[in-house]
Amino acid sequence: MTDAGKIHRDQNERRISALSSFHIEADRAGGGMSLIISGVIGISDFSDQFIHLLSHGGRIKITGKALFIRVYENNRVEIVGRIEGIVFSYGKN
């Protein structure tokens, strides 16, 4: 394999591995939604109206009403409640 081919393959593998750690899934749940997010490395703040999550790529802010964290394990979090907004911010801000 040429050096140029190897560099191109290495760049593609890095992009795939960087993207594959984050995944979000939303389902209807009684009176609201169930939101499952993988690739979460921490929870910086939370209340029943907002939850701020940390990931390697930035922060995820969920807003709504009657929010609660049902499960947080293995870099996955499940949030249940009336989700009204999801905001992504990049970097360490």
pLDDT in tens, 42-69: 999 999 999 999 998 899 999 999 999 9
Tokens 């999550």, residue located? 53
Instruction: Take residue 10 and report the two structure tokens written for it.
Output: 């290495």
Tokens 């922060």, residue located? 59
Helix (H/G/I), strand (E/B), else coil: 18: helix
Give this prediction's pTM.
0.74
